[in-house]
Amino acid sequence: MKNTGIGDLLMKSFDGTIEEHVNLKNYSFMHTEGYAKVLFQPATIDDLRLLHKEFNSINVIGNGSNVLFKGDIDRIAVINGIFNNTIAVDGERIIASAGMSLPQLARKAYENALSGMEELVGIPGTLGGAIKMNAGAYGKTIFEIVRKITVFNMKRGEIKDMDASTLTPKYRDSGLEKDDIVVEAELELNRGDRNEILDRMTNFSMNRRMRQPTGGYSLGSIFKNPKQYPAGWLIEACGLKGKRIGGAFVPRKHANFIINDGTARSKDVLDLIDLIRTRVAERFNIELELEIVLL
Ligand SMILES: Cc1cc2nc3c(=O)[nH]c(=O)nc-3n(C[C@H](O)[C@H](O)[C@H](O)COP(=O)(O)OP(=O)(O)OC[C@H]3O[C@@H](n4cnc5c(N)ncnc54)[C@H](O)[C@@H]3O)c2cc1C
């Protein structure tokens, strides 16, 4: 590795991987270009402690299913290394590390006849990302089933267990501190019938496939739904279905998505976002708020 300005201690003691000049294309579901000067994949809590000593603050991602990179970035840590390989079932509770994906967790719940997260089966994120975003679908949010969260606070370098009930989650917002990195969480589900759980998961997955565009790259819903109307309805009413800037376009199937046809730059996506916001504000006097995270 070339000299990245990273201290010797970090370089020698880090258990996970450290790479420099990494193309971020494969770290965001939008698949647009951008480079990270250094990309860390921490493997242990001690790795997070080392990062804290060196930097105090760092951008983190999980699966990148809700993140758009605006361009190049100095440092980023990907939280799905060792953090994705522990999962334990204790009665009606599932204790899992932050990098576990929601589909993996839903499958585990089904295998153990535990019901309560079938609605979330199609969300392509990690447990950590879902908690940070208070992800939800079909009227169910992750915070309805999360009981305990273990976070490492990057600013203070402390690990903390918290009761989820001490947070005040809002729509797509957990209420966690900016520098809190989720490392583990405990979910509480209910005993159910395996066949019924499977039926429900299948129905939610099929419904998703019917409603969501296929082909190209996307981050799911781009904007939060305002109280008055769904964002997709507002965008469609502005005649923006099919609108294209460079390689980014609003698909006909779901107006609150933006698809990269494989050739889009982040700037195309950002310009399309600006255009949509401007048109919706002009016509309805409503400011659309981003659901996706810009890094
Ligand atoms: C096709 C498609 C469908 C989708 N459908 C839904 C849906 O129905 N409902 C829904 O809510 N979302 C949906 N999403 C969005 C996305 O999947 C969720 O927001 C998901 O929870 C993000 O998880 P992630 O691991 O990919 O997080 P990332 O996209 O990697 O990160 C998202 C945010 O979480 C933070 N973060 C990630 N990991 C951690 C961690 N361990 N600790 C602290 N912060 C962390 C990041 O810093 C960033 O701010 C969809 C996306 C796609 C592509």
29: domain CATH number? 3.30.43.10
The verdict on 203 and 249 lying in the same domain is no
The verdict on 174 and 155 lying in the same domain is yes
Which residue's alpha carbon is at the smallest distance from atom 11 of ligand 1? 135
pTM of the full structure:
0.96
- Evaluate: CB of 130 within 6 angstroms of ligand 1: yes
Paired with 78 in beta bridges are 61
User: What DSSP designation does 225 have?
Assistant: P
Q: Which of 55, 78, 101 lies at the terminal end of a domain, its last residue?
A: 78
Does residue 179 form part of some domain?
yes
Does residue 221 form part of some domain?
no
pLDDT at 11: 79
- Evaluate: CB of 64 within 6 angstroms of ligand 1: yes
Residue 240, sorted as left (phi over 0), alpha (psi -120 to 50) or beta, turns out to be alpha
The verdict on 198 and 112 lying in the same domain is yes
Q: Cβ contacts of residue 152 below 8 Å, gap of 6+?
A: 45, 48, 49, 52, 158, 159, 160, 180, 181, 183
> How far, in Å, is the centroid of ligand 1 from the Cα of 223?
13
The verdict on 194 and 265 lying in the same domain is no
Mean pLDDT over 225-232 rounds to 96
The verdict on 70 and 87 lying in the same domain is no
The verdict on 202 and 120 lying in the same domain is yes
Q: Which of 30, 49, 78 lies at the terminal end of a domain, its last residue?
A: 78
**Dihedral angle, C-alpha 261, 264, 267, 271, nearest 10 °:** -30
Q: Cβ contacts of residue 117 below 8 Å, gap of 6+?
A: 102, 105, 106, 109, 140, 145, 187, 189
Q: Which residue, among 123, 115, 69, has the nearest Cα to 94 in the 3D structure?
A: 115
- Higher-confidence residue of 113 and 86: namely 113
Does residue 1 form part of some domain?
no
Cα gap 62→259, rounded to integer Å: 21
pLDDT in tens, 132-151: 999 999 999 999 999 999 99
| CATH number of the domain within which 284 lies | 3.90.78.10
Number of domains the chain is built from = 3
Q: Which atom of ligand 1 is nearest to the CA of 138?
A: 8
In 3-state terms, what secondary structure has residue 282? helix
> How far, in Å, is the centroid of ligand 1 from the Cα of 215?
19
The verdict on 29 and 112 lying in the same domain is no
Residue spans of alpha helices (H) in 192-230:
194-211
Domain that holds residue 272: 231-294
**Residues making up the chain, counted from first to last:** 295
pLDDT in tens, 153-177: 999 999 999 999 999 999 999 999 9
The verdict on 129 and 179 lying in the same domain is yes
Q: Which two tokens stand for residue 90?
A: 């204790």
The verdict on 47 and 25 lying in the same domain is yes
> How far, in Å, is the centroid of ligand 1 from the Cα of 71?
19
Mean of the per-residue pLDDT values for the chain?
Answer: 94
The verdict on 56 and 101 lying in the same domain is no
Q: Which atom of ligand 1 is nearest to the CA of 80?
A: 41
Is the pLDDT reported for residue 2 higher than 60?
no
The verdict on 196 and 241 lying in the same domain is no
Tell me the CA end-to-end span of the chain in Å, nearest whole number. 25
Report the run of H or E that residue 178 belongs to, with start and end.
Answer: none
The verdict on 136 and 183 lying in the same domain is yes
- Evaluate: CB of 218 within 6 angstroms of ligand 1: yes
> How far, in Å, is the centroid of ligand 1 from the Cα of 3?
32
CB distance 130 to 98 below 8 Å: no
Residue of 28, 30, 66, 82 to test ligand 1 pocket, by largest number of atoms within 8 Å of CB: 66
Does residue 175 form part of some domain?
yes
Share of the chain above pLDDT 90, in %: 91
Q: Which of 78, 111, 136 lies at the terminal end of a domain, its last residue?
A: 78
Positions marked catalytic: 172, 221, 291
Q: Which atom of ligand 1 is nearest to the CA of 212?
A: 1
Does residue 222 form part of some domain?
no
